[in-house]
Amino acid sequence: MIPGTAAERLRAAADHLNATGLYDRPIDPRRVRVVHAPWFFRVPTMRRFDGYALPECILLRRPLDETSDELLRHELCHVWQMRRRGPLMPLSYVVKGYWDNPYEREARWASRCGSRPRRPGAKNFSCRRTPR
């Protein structure tokens, strides 16, 4: 169980993302809602995901207290991308796919930078480098 209200956890996620230096202006999480929506992830094309971002909302497969900080940071990064880049961001998945999509790579990097390694001997993600 991970403690904290949605507002507290989103603020911490925004602080983490803002520290990466990727963004020309800070992410403001105050208008972002977090919704536990397990029904959404029963849709066949959504089954492989644990979170999904919309411009003002983050949908989660599991309750907030069972959701990692890394996933919240990842989805909040997508919220920022959609707010700043508009419809080009979601449309890019049609053209570039998922794994090699630059928005997806950026969100993966930004959500992990500075975090502890997942297993002994794994490389630590540093905020000093840029996403590729």
Condensed to tens digits (0 to 9), the pLDDT of residues 98-107 reads: 888 999 999 9
What is the full DSSP assignment across the chain?
---S-HHHHHHHHHHHHHHTT--SS---GGG-EEEE-TTGGGSGGGTT-SEEEETTEEEESS-GGGS-HHHHHHHHHHHHHHHHHTTHHHHHHHHH-STT-HHHHHHHHHHHTTPPPSSTTPPPP-TTS---
Regarding predicted confidence, which is higher, 24 or 121?
Answer: 24
Percent of the chain residues past pLDDT 90, beyond the cut: 63
Residues 34-39, mean pLDDT to the nearest whole number: 97
- Asked whether the predicted pLDDT for residue 114 surpasses 80, the reply is no
The pLDDT mean for the chain works out to: 86
pLDDT of residue 22: 84
- With 80 as the cut, is the pLDDT of residue 126 above it? no
